[in-house]
Amino acid sequence: MSDAYHTLIGLLLPAGILEYFELVQVKQSPKGLELFLEEKNISPSGFEKQALESKGFLPQVSIGDFPIRGQKVMLQVKRRRWEVKATGEIISRDWDLVKKVRGSPQSSRLF
């Protein structure tokens, strides 16, 4: 994706979301826009030095966002899960921690 598109998408989506998610699909219908986001395969905080294996995604969640050009917007969000290879534990990113670090009021409405 070019820098111009990335900048524009970043302005339309909640602040900071593109740090952790990739926009993978957009659907437009008479009901509005659906923006499909998948969490990037980036190790969660506290697990950077451990061997992790991506184990797919948690169930998709629909989140209402602010309208764009008068169209209703739904974010279809797929959060990733990982297995810690050494222990077999299944983990996912701690969004409360991300919210505190980022300090963004917009990020709190996502999760």
Over residues 2-47, the pLDDT tens digits come to 889 889 988 989 888 899 999 999 999 999 999 999 999 998 888 8
- The reply to whether 106 falls in a domain is no
Full DSSP string of 5-68: HHHHHHHHSPTTGGGTEEEEEEEEETTEEEEEEEE-S-PPTT-TTS-EEEEEEPPPEEEEEEEE
- The reply to whether 78 falls in a domain is yes
Would you place residue 1 in the very low, low, confident or very high pLDDT band (cuts 50, 70, 90)? low
Give the pLDDT score at 29: 92
Would you place residue 59 in the very low, low, confident or very high pLDDT band (cuts 50, 70, 90)? very high
- Closest C-alpha among 9, 20, 2 to residue 101: 20
Domain count, the chain: 1
- The reply to whether 72 falls in a domain is yes
Single pTM value for the model: 0.79
- Closest C-alpha among 19, 106, 96, 5 to residue 65: 106
Domain that holds residue 47: 3-94
- The reply to whether 107 falls in a domain is no
- The reply to whether 39 falls in a domain is yes
